[in-house]
């Protein structure tokens, strides 16, 4: 595994760098690689400081951190629920965050940007607490837990739809774009609102990968192996919730990344989380950067949301993976 892991990790890292360079160069104004290098490293020669520094660089960085965070969140939730179909979107965390942000902007139209991640986190945590309080009160199977999450997610989505329909004024067209999962008009302020927390939480996730392996064996076996299942489940769920919520607060509901990246990673390097998590994270980063950049070049000057593109490109690939994988996901 270690050689395979090394090759995969290197390849994905290179792909992420290439995709990022492309993402900075692509758009209504095409920027050459030389100009990008000159600008980023402050060399002599032609530069494109305004577009790169004000728009595409922060946007690309934001795509990287949120893509990685959503992928990690999905991997954690799939392990916790022992369900390959689970993701932060499926169990309602993303929708909870989205509803909270929408309510926040509805009631406090002048709210500062830096509060949006906090509001999103509150909404997501409310959903997570609700779902897992149920699990604590009555022992229910992970499959049912996922169904409860789906129901809660639909309820939140209904709230989102209601707000959008009833308050469809000019100022609500921006949330509409945001909700589809878009990096449109994202800048340093958005990046600065989330990156320190996202990087810290992602690092913590990677550190705790072994615990995910154990909890993946089911509560009984994990207890038998000396794990404090209730406490660690809570910590891991908290991590997954915050990662997803902070991402949603700035880039909207990029639902598919969290579902798909762990599957791709498992296919590439196997199911041991120490190898799988970093690969899933890089896959998520790559997917979102590619989706965002592609969205800028296909119909300029119109931008197609990254969320739409991850679904369009990801879904066929995802179906292919599910059809070609063996019985290993059946438990």
Q: Least distance to another protein from the beta carbon of 5, Å?
A: 13
Nearer to another protein, 4 or 54 (CB): 4
Count CB neighbours of 218 within 10 A.
Answer: 14
Q: Give CA–CA dist 282/275, Å, rounded.
A: 11
Which residue among 223, 297, 313, 318 contacts another protein (CB under 8 A)?
A: 223
Among the listed residues 28, 207, 298, 312, the single contact to another protein using CB under 8 A:
207
Contacts of 220 (CB under 8 A, 6+ apart): none
Near another protein in 267-286, by CB under 8 A:
267, 270-272, 274, 276
List the interface residues with another protein, window 81-100 (CB under 8 A).
82, 84
Burial class of 196 by CB neighbour count within 10 A (0 to 12, 13 to 18, 19+) = exposed
Listed residue (277, 314, 279) closest to 72, CA to CA: 277
Query: Which residue, 186 or 211, has its beta carbon nearer to another protein?
Result: 211
Going from the C-alpha of 230 to that of each of 126, 157, 219, the distances in angstroms are 18, 29, 9
110 versus 330: smaller Cβ distance to another protein: 330
Q: Contact at 8 Å (CB) between 212 and 285?
A: no
Check binding of 211 to another protein (CB under 8 A): yes
The residue whose two tokens read 């990662």 is: 243
- Residue of 49, 136, 171, 328 that binds another protein (CB under 8 A): 328
First to last CA, the chain: 23
Question: Which region, judged by CB under 8 A, interacts with another protein, from 101-109, 196-204, 264-272, 304-312?
Answer: 264-272
Site for another protein, rule CB under 8 A:
82, 84, 207-211, 213-214, 216-221, 223-228, 266-267, 270-272, 274, 276, 326-331
């Amino acid at each position: 595994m270690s050689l395979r892991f090394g090759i995969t990790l290197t390849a994905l890292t290179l792909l992420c760098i290439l995709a990022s360079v492309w993402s900075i160069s692509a758009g209504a104004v095409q920027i050459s690689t030389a100009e990008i290098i000159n600008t980023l490293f402050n060399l002599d020669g032609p530069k494109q400081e305004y577009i790169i520094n004000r728009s595409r660089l922060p946007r690309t960085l934001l795509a990287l951190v949120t893509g990685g965070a959503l992928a990690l969140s999905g991997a954690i939730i799939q392990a916790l629920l022992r369900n390959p179909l689970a993701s932060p979107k499926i169990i309602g965390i993303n929708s909870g965050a989205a509803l909270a942000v929408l309510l926040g902007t509805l009631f406090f139209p002048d709210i500062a940007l830096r509060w949006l991640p906090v509001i999103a986190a509150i909404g997501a945590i409310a959903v997570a607490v609700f779902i897992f309080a149920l699990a604590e009160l009555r022992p229910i199977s992970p499959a049912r837990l996922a169904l409860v999450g789906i129901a809660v997610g639909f309820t939140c989505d209904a709230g989102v739809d209601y707000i959008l329909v009833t308050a469809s004024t000019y100022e609500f067209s921006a949330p509409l774009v945001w909700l589809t999962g878009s990096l449109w008009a994202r800048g340093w302020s958005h990046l600065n609102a989330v990156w320190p927390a996202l990087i810290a939480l992602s690092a913590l996730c990677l550190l705790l990968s072994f615990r995910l392996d154990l909890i993946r064996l089911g509560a009984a076996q994990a207890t038998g192996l000396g794990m404090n299942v209730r406490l660690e489940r809570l910590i891991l769920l908290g991590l997954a919730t915050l990662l997803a919520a902070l991402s949603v607060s700035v880039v909207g509901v990029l639902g598919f990344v969290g579902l798909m990246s762990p599957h791709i990673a498992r296919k590439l390097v196997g199911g041991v989380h120490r190898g799988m998590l970093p690969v899933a994270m890089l896959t998520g980063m790559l997917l979102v950067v590619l989706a965002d950049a592609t969205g800028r070049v296909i119909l300029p000057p119109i931008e197609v949301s990254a969320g739409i593109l991850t679904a369009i490109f990801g879904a066929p690939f995802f179906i292919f993976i599910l059809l070609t994988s063996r019985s290993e996901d059946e438990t």
